[in-house]
Chain A
Amino acid sequence: TKSLVLPLSQSGLRLASRAAADSSRPRRRGYDIHFRDKKILLIEAGPKKVLEKLSETYSNRVSSISPGSATLLSSFGAWDHICNMRYRAFRRMQVWDACSEALIMFDKDNLDDMGYIVENDVIMHALTKQLEAVSDRVTVLYRSKAVSYTWPCPFLMADSSPWVQITLGDGSTLQTKLLIGADGHNSGVRQAAGIPNVSWNYDQSAVVATLHLSEATENNVAWQRFLPSGPIALLPLSDTLSSLVWSTSHEHAAELVRMDEEQFVDAVNSAFWSDANHTDFVDSAGSLLQHALALLRPTKVSARQLPPSVARVDAKSRVLFPLGWGHAAEYVRPRVALIGDAAHRVHPLAGQGVNMGFGDISSLAHHLSSAAFNGRDLGSMSHLTGYETERQRHNTALLAATDLLKRLYSTRATPLVLLRTWGLQATNAVSPLKGQIMAFASK
């Protein structure tokens, strides 16, 4: 019998870090002693990924890690492994509209790191390494899948166990005090528990690719432009490499993946540079507001900068995947908790999906730790509901905002374009508001 079981998802990012975060960690290096005698089991459907040597080519799936998530990863030692491999810090973010001149520029006061772009493979490898370091308390079952779950009765029955029973694909059964579902947006745990889930598919797919820049620059700015078909983002990977995330309609995405490299590069460059969607009316309205703001606050006027031009794309690095939105109505049930994509699924336009998951992890780890120090049963609803309240409040706001932005920027209709132009310019002018947005996103 184990104390905690985490069935895994394909990405496996989050649960692996959950396990590492939960595992007993000696106090010296800032680990958590309250889980010292708890056993943790990870159930992973895929094979064990062993990375002997870091490959030269960058992977096309990257994540933007906020400073809060970086703190979580460093709290149990995984960030050190990432630093030893590779990551890229970015200091500035420019977000602008394709239909007008409006833009918003985020940066920190001292030009500190706003976030980090890390490949998913690198994160996975760092976490696997860390899991091996605590393998006396964490067991990972690779290539196993949970087939069915038996939930505990709400009251004490004579012969039934009050714990969760899990049947694996090979027929063995496990009993656990707390089951954490971290198995992605098609979560089996969530479906088996019967937790209602609100979700819809966006009519968009995201195309990812690794791009070579035409000239080496101090590549520490993240670029995002809202096209009517969907946002396109360029994330720095190294001085000469950047990662592309282009969300667009299904047909256009399929076409982009199919077309040959030169055409693709041209498409990317024109998406960033072309002003074809500008209208005079909106432009003049925008500059009017700009002048008004300059009168009120004669501070720096951020001129629109152009992202670096793209020369080549890595062969075979173009992939597409569909996008959607999802939110579970409940994150917890007796002896069950959902974290990460199993609880919420978001559009990549804000780069917050993984960070919300890491936030879930640190919150759950905190609640479980204080529950363990009070001698509580780990699967008890009282502290699980505390985790749910804390995270639902944060995640719901972010999910709603991201969805709103996506819908707002999907049109070319002039009234909406005008509205969003003025809104963006006004937000750009109000630095405290920008500071608040950055603080919320970097938790």
Chain B
Amino acid sequence: MGAMAGAMLIGSQEPGASSWSPMRVQGPSTWDILHCFLGPQQRAGLEEELPGIEPDGHMGCQRHRQRINQFKYKAGIISHLQKRNWIVIIKDVNQPDWTLQIKPWIFNKYRTIWSRSYGVTFSCLNRIKRPPWMRLYSTSQTTIDSSEVKTFQALAHKWWDEQGVYAPLHSMNDLRVPFIRDNLLKAVDDHQPGKPLSGMKILDVGCGGGLLAEPLGRLGASVIGIDPVDENIKTAHHHKSFDPVLDKRLEYRACSLEEIAEETIETFDAVIASEVVEHVIDLETFIQCCCQVLKPGGSLFITTINKTQLSYALGIVFSEQIAGIVPKGTHTWEKFVSPEKLESILESNVYHFKL
């Protein structure tokens, strides 16, 4: 961390303003700027990935506290990334400095750091042993979208009404449970008759009210279900409490994937993210964490809606607006994930997968 000299912030941001504005950062390399935003794990990962950034019009984009990817400089891409709360650092060929495009609330979070850094090198931050306010960006929810959380909070008590708003998810169980069961059985040589999944540990990410966790529990698996919405977990707890068998086999926690990933590395036979990835902010980290908690040879099941014209027409226009099958605002088409995108993310994370 030696070369952290001379990085300066120029310009400031009015707190409370909602639009993006550039803050030019002076410094020999983006690396210096980015380092202060990253935690130790991500920093180590970065050092492997990015030996340097070429100052020829490429821009380095940093997701809020995440890894770096590099894209060709295009105006449309900047706005696209800004919608996803990415901190965008741009290097213009004609300028010696790097420009930081940052949203006000992120700025507000780190204002303390930056005001200190004005005229002061960032290297002093490394000497400080993780003061409490730095914890803000190295732990807790990174993949959770708070607007999605609000949407689902309102519907938390309706999970188990089979004819209610969640009826499509109930009927999807007819497809999901046999799919998961059959694929897990293939991986096992012999199994107890009557309880095909006994002995398996499964993590259900975004379990909601436990719609998928309960059938899997009945088939013998021990399931841990996690969901960021507290009310969902309460509903799920309440529903399973009536059945003594399920009460023992299922466990629900209101937390995010990142939180549980730290405690449970390589413990699960299967991780299921069903109808979740289209509600998540940072897909790559999400999948990374999923792979972290899987045992070697474990299975990751992802079900989601494909991002096509048809899915827009049917999934959003028809289901939400016309027929009212799904409550308005449940899905945003921009967040749908296409198989190709999933494939590219998975390729970089896992050795062997099937779509």
Give chain B nearest CB distance to A290 CB in angstroms: 55
Q: Is the Cβ of A33 less than 8 Å from the Cβ of B194? A: yes
A378's closest neighbor in chain B, by CB? B218
Q: Is B109 engaged at the interface, CB distance under 8 Å to the other chain?
A: no
* B148-160 vs A, Cβ < 8 Å mask (1 yes, 0 no): 0000000001001
Write the residues of chain B forming the contact surface with A, with a CB cutoff of 8 angstroms.
157, 160-162, 164, 170-171, 173-174, 177-178, 181, 193-196, 214-219, 235, 238-239, 242, 244-245
A34's closest neighbor in chain B, by CB? B194
Which of A158, A162, A163, A376 is B215 in contact with, Cβ under 8 Å? A376
Which of A156, A163, A375 is B177 in contact with, Cβ under 8 Å? A375
Q: A156-B235, A156-B238, A163-B242 are in contact. Are A375 and B193 (CB under 8 A)?
A: no
Give chain A nearest CB distance to B102 CB in angstroms: 45
Q: Is A277 engaged at the interface, CB distance under 8 Å to the other chain?
A: no
Q: Is the Cβ of B162 less than 8 Å from the Cβ of A381? A: yes
Write the residues of chain A forming the contact surface with B, with a CB cutoff of 8 angstroms.
1, 24, 27, 33-37, 154-156, 158, 161-163, 372-377, 380-382
Q: Is the Cβ of A376 less than 8 Å from the Cβ of B218? A: yes
Chain B residues within 8 Å of A374, by CB: 173-174, 177-178, 181, 215
Q: Is the Cβ of B242 less than 8 Å from the Cβ of A161? A: yes
A1's closest neighbor in chain B, by CB? B244
9 contacts between A and B (CB under 8 A): A33-B193, A154-B161, A155-B160, A155-B161, A156-B157, A163-B242, A375-B181, A375-B219, A382-B174
Q: A36-B193, A374-B173, A374-B174 are in contact. Are A162 and B242 (CB under 8 A)?
A: yes
A157's closest neighbor in chain B, by CB? B238
Q: A37-B245, A156-B235, A373-B181 are in contact. List 5 more A-B contacts (CB 8 A).
A: A154-B161, A374-B174, A375-B214, A376-B215, A382-B162
A27's closest neighbor in chain B, by CB? B193
Give chain A nearest CB distance to B161 CB in angstroms: 5
Q: Is the Cβ of B218 less than 8 Å from the Cβ of A375? A: yes
User: Top 7 closest A-B pairs, CB basis?
Assistant: A36-B194, A375-B215, A33-B193, A375-B218, A375-B219, A33-B194, A156-B160
Q: How far is the CA of A177 from the CA of B159 in the complex (A)?
A: 19
The winner among B196, B217, B235 for most chain A CB atoms within 10 A is B196
Q: How far is the CA of A156 from the CA of B236 in the complex (A)?
A: 11
Q: Is the Cβ of B239 less than 8 Å from the Cβ of A380? A: no
B194's closest neighbor in chain A, by CB? A36
Q: Is the Cβ of B162 less than 8 Å from the Cβ of A380? A: yes
Chain A residues within 8 Å of B219, by CB: 373, 375
Q: How far is the CA of A20 from the CA of B184 in the complex (A)?
A: 31
Q: How far is the CA of A154 from the CA of B162 in the complex (A)?
A: 9
Give chain A nearest CB distance to B66 CB in angstroms: 36
Q: How far is the CA of A1 from the CA of B246 in the complex (A)?
A: 13
Chain B residues within 8 Å of A381, by CB: 162
Q: How far is the CA of A377 from the CA of B235 in the complex (A)?
A: 17
Q: Is the Cβ of B238 less than 8 Å from the Cβ of A37? A: no
Give chain A nearest CB distance to B283 CB in angstroms: 28
Chain B residues within 8 Å of A155, by CB: 160-161, 164
Which of B171, B178, B195, B239 is A156 in contact with, Cβ under 8 Å? B239
Chain A residues within 8 Å of B195, by CB: 36-37
A374's closest neighbor in chain B, by CB? B177
Chain A residues within 8 Å of B194, by CB: 24, 33-37
Give chain A nearest CB distance to B236 CB in angstroms: 11
Give chain B nearest CB distance to A382 CB in angstroms: 7
Give chain A nearest CB distance to B7 CB in angstroms: 56
Q: Is the Cβ of A376 less than 8 Å from the Cβ of B193? A: no
Chain B residues within 8 Å of A35, by CB: 194
Chain B residues within 8 Å of A34, by CB: 194
Give chain A nearest CB distance to B272 CB in angstroms: 13
Q: How far is the CA of A372 from the CA of B242 in the complex (A)?
A: 18
Chain B residues within 8 Å of A377, by CB: 214, 218
Chain B residues within 8 Å of A382, by CB: 162, 170-171, 174
Chain A residues within 8 Å of B171, by CB: 382
B196's closest neighbor in chain A, by CB? A373
Give chain B nearest CB distance to A29 CB in angstroms: 13
Chain B residues within 8 Å of A24, by CB: 194
B170's closest neighbor in chain A, by CB? A382
Chain A residues within 8 Å of B161, by CB: 154-156
Chain B residues within 8 Å of A36, by CB: 193-195
Chain B residues within 8 Å of A33, by CB: 193-194
Q: Is the Cβ of B157 less than 8 Å from the Cβ of A376? A: no
Chain A residues within 8 Å of B173, by CB: 374, 376
Q: How far is the CA of A33 from the CA of B19 in the complex (A)?
A: 63
Q: How far is the CA of A95 from the CA of B219 in the complex (A)?
A: 52
Q: How far is the CA of A33 from the CA of B351 in the complex (A)?
A: 37
Q: How far is the CA of A377 from the CA of B238 in the complex (A)?
A: 16
